[in-house]
Structure 1
Amino acid sequence: MFDNYTFTVAERFLRYVRIDTQSDPQSGSHPSTERQKHLGRLLVEELQTLGLADATLDDFGYVYATLPANTEKTVPVICFCAHMDTAPDCTGTNVNPLVHYNYDGGDIVLPDDPTQIISPREHPYLSMRKGDDIITASGTTLLGADDKAGIAVIMDLVHFLGQNPQLKHGTIRILFTPDEEIGRGVDKLDLARLGADFGYTLDAGERGTFEDETFSADAMTITFHGVSAHPGYAKDKLVNAIKAAAHFVDSLPKDEFSPETTEDRYGFVHPVRISGIAEKATVEFIIRDFVTAKLKAYEEYIKDKVEDTLTVFPGAKAGITVNEQYRNMKEVLDKHPEVTQYAIEAIERAGLEVRRSSARGGTDGSRLSFMGLPCPNIFTGEMAFHGKHEFVSIQDMQASVKTIACLALIWEERSPG
């Protein structure tokens, strides 16, 4: 069905990544950065050009659009979703994407900073993409494949189905979200307005990957309160909250419970930000595990470390807050097996080997699933995300377009006449 189709996913992707859409975890606005709306406006314009007349960008930075059904069957409404923001971990300003055609399997030296080398030794998946056309940034920024590859895939799907009206599908809702990278991707989402029964995020990596399981996640903040005093006259008076916070962080184990020492199904506790002055210092954590019940054990472990620290700094006090971020989507998806079954069949129908995977992180689908929209995750080819070594294969993105096109057709085929 794609024999005579000219994919648009690469040209769209190259256009989208040039727009800076970094989110900001320190911002209290929705979206966290106004620049995310710059991409949103472009996407609305392109969707309307593709015939989706209701495409809109709301005040909170969400793009909604509808591809109407072209079948007489009663088909569940499915949603394809991707996020517009890029991670705050690495700059996304002035991204200069480069296409390395017919990749030769060797190191890719990024020209704007030749010390940045994308090597198949560090990224084994790159070896599997020899002969593909690989897109990277130029060495001074991230690329933004996470998740503009997903956006480009969905946009090319809309284009493909518009070019092939003989292919029957139900109503498809398009959703592009802001602030996914900072855990706020669905904070202001109008689920009733979306009006979908089931969803799929396009935000996974290797070709053929399907994720129906994510971490469960909490955020934890520890605030150390010291006693301020003039440093010249501080003897037996000053209690330095910065030193207490530093001691606490240093007391964390060096060989377990951390992202740098765990893999597969092992969770972690991870300090992500520390700030303060002598009177008050704050340490922010993220807590992750596939088994939701284990989060409580990790949090109790941290609380014990806090209590140990207070014994070392008499006069110091500490406050602790824990906030739920998201939960393992598998708890919901297991109740809707067809959502997974159809996705696996679609990957196979696209001619690919299925790679079942558990995401060591979360997606918008994690929270959407618990909001009433079961929503697993499908590959786009995005790799080495959140850093300057990020890359994506054009052929992977094209394979993703094929997959979700097959998925849309399968939902129609399996529905009653």
Structure 2
Amino acid sequence: MEKLLPRFLEYATIDTQSDPYSKTTPSTEKQWALAKKLVMELHQIGMQEVSIDENAYIMATLPSNLDKKVPVIGFISHMDTSPDFSGKNVKPQLIKNYDGKDIVLNKKKNIVLSPDYFEDLLQYQGQTLITTDGSTLLGADDKAGIAEIITAMEHLVNHPEIKHGEIRVAFTPDEEIGRGAHKFDVKKFGADWAYTMDGSQVGELEFENFNAARATITIKGKSVHPGYAKGKMVNAVGIANEFLSLLPPREVPEHTQDREGFFHVHKIKGEIEHAEIELIVRDHDLVHFEARKQLLQDIQRKISKKHGDCIVLDIEDQYRNMREKVEPVFHIVEIAKEAMESLGIEPIIKPIRGGTDGSQLSFMGLPCPNIFAGGHNFHGKYEYIPLESMEKAVMVIVKICALTAEQIK
């Protein structure tokens, strides 16, 4: 475990922010810096069949040390960080023996990580916290998962008395922009099932996620002198506002929780002759999800009928709820649950209000529940992770490997 912290800190300082507008894989050239380092490190700890393809997908094998055949299992994390907040010049800060009080991340900018607002902090009194300096995200999503997987594999290499079957690991680019599994070679990976190490607080175990789509609404207007505009001007900004006013006002991220779906407008720009809205659609229930997409189409038709052919709606499905693919092989969730319980960790089984590589991989033939990596407040300057949570994640990985071997007679 002594290498876990320096390993994570080194990964965190490498800028791997992905770009949703790029057409390449990986979407940013800078993801290669971490990818090449991970390949080298996998070789160094004794992994075999280490490979990296032209799209920066990394795979490696820890061979079985058993004399019987057991399922091949995998562990997966992603290299990129969110485009929502800067990942450049990350300067992690260590808060040892956290006292439960406010943490000043950046004195000059008066940026404070406070338990008055982030109540989860109080769970970690006495522990070592890793935080940002208030100017970037941290990147625990999902560099913590990578550090945990590599540390667990190194532990198994150094402790051959722990019996396990063949273990496969993979690190992917571009998960944060929904493309982490798009070019993942499931057949090459060769696992019977896998786990993404991409959850949040200790104990999280997830096999249900949102159905997801993105939508772009493009509006074409017509500019006329406002003094003589009656019956002639078509104001694209006004029509954009009209479109948004027809969405359910409470069905947004800031007013929903648990299995409640939402519409989330994350970008809008415009002027009289052109306006554009970008939003995402999320719902755990497939029927409700389809109804949300239908509502967007109904609004488009209503506005077109009123204002003429001035609005174009483009909807693209992103990923599906993996529950339907995991439930038929639910023993893979039970193994992870047993691993946690045997280590004194209370499993927190709940739906993901988001998606992981595992959701797409499950529909590609690789059932893939999600396990905690330990971080909090992802995608922003208040992100932090307790070192002890990372250590527990390493222990869970090792225990899953051992339990899978033990349960096959």
Query: C-alpha deviations, 1:3-38, integer Å up to 9, x for none?
Result: xxx442211110100000001111111111011111
Distance across 2 between alignment mates of 1:172 and 1:307? 52
Alignment pair present for 1:299 and 2:293:
yes
Structure 1 unaligned residues grouped into runs of 5+: 1-5
Secondary structure of the 1:110 match is: strand
- Where does residue 331 of structure 1 map in the other structure? 324
Query: C-alpha deviations, 1:217-238, integer Å up to 9, x for none?
Result: 1222222233356889866444
- Aligned pairs for 1:352-391 (under 5 A) are 352-391=345-384
- Where does residue 200 of structure 2 map in the other structure? 205
Contact 2:77 2:145 in 1 (8 A): yes
- Aligned pairs for 1:264-279 (under 5 A) are 264-276=258-270, 278-279=272-273
| AA partner of residue 391 (structure 1) | Y
TM-score, length of structure 2 as denominator length: 0.95
- Where does residue 3 of structure 1 map in the other structure? none
Alignment pair present for 1:342 and 2:335:
yes
Secondary structure of the 1:109 match is: strand
- Aligned pairs for 1:145-184 (under 5 A) are 145-184=140-179
Alignment pair present for 1:408 and 2:401:
yes
- Aligned pairs for 1:93-112 (under 5 A) are 93-111=88-106
| Shift, 1:63, TM fit | 1.1
Contact 2:300 2:312 in 1 (8 A): no
**Aligned match for 1:395, one of 388, 391, 400:** 388
Distance across 2 between alignment mates of 1:355 and 1:88? 28
Contact 1:113 1:138 in 2 (8 A): no
Distance across 2 between alignment mates of 1:22 and 1:276? 27
| AA partner of residue 28 (structure 2) | T
**Aligned match for 1:61, one of 50, 56, 61:** 56
Distance across 2 between alignment mates of 1:27 and 1:376? 28
Contact 1:241 1:316 in 2 (8 A): no
Secondary structure of the 1:372 match is: coil
Query: C-alpha deviations, 1:142-189, integer Å up to 9, x for none?
Result: 011111110110010111111101111111111111111110011111
Contact 1:77 1:172 in 2 (8 A): yes
Distance across 1 between alignment mates of 2:2 and 2:396? 13
Structure 2 unaligned residues grouped into runs of 5+: none
- Where does residue 344 of structure 2 map in the other structure? 351
- Where does residue 138 of structure 1 map in the other structure? 133
Contact 1:79 1:174 in 2 (8 A): yes
Distance across 1 between alignment mates of 2:40 and 2:227? 63
- The count of corresponding residues between Structure 1 and Structure 2 is 409
- Where does residue 219 of structure 1 map in the other structure? 214
Q: Percent identity?
A: 45
| AA partner of residue 195 (structure 2) | Y
RMSD: 1.9
| Shift, 1:250, TM fit | 4.1
| AA partner of residue 391 (structure 2) | Q
Distance across 2 between alignment mates of 1:161 and 1:113? 45
Identify if the C-alpha distance between structure 1 residues 414 and 140 changes in structure 2 by more than 3 Å, giving closer, same or farther: same
| AA partner of residue 14 (structure 2) | I
Contact 1:36 1:84 in 2 (8 A): yes
- Where does residue 114 of structure 2 map in the other structure? 119
My pick for the range that moved more, 361-370 or 277-286, is 277-286
Contact 1:218 1:322 in 2 (8 A): yes
| AA partner of residue 247 (structure 1) | E
Contact 2:132 2:138 in 1 (8 A): yes
| Shift, 1:57, TM fit | 2.2
- Where does residue 71 of structure 1 map in the other structure? 66
- Where does residue 279 of structure 2 map in the other structure? 285
TM-score, length of structure 1 as denominator length: 0.93
Distance across 1 between alignment mates of 2:70 and 2:220? 57
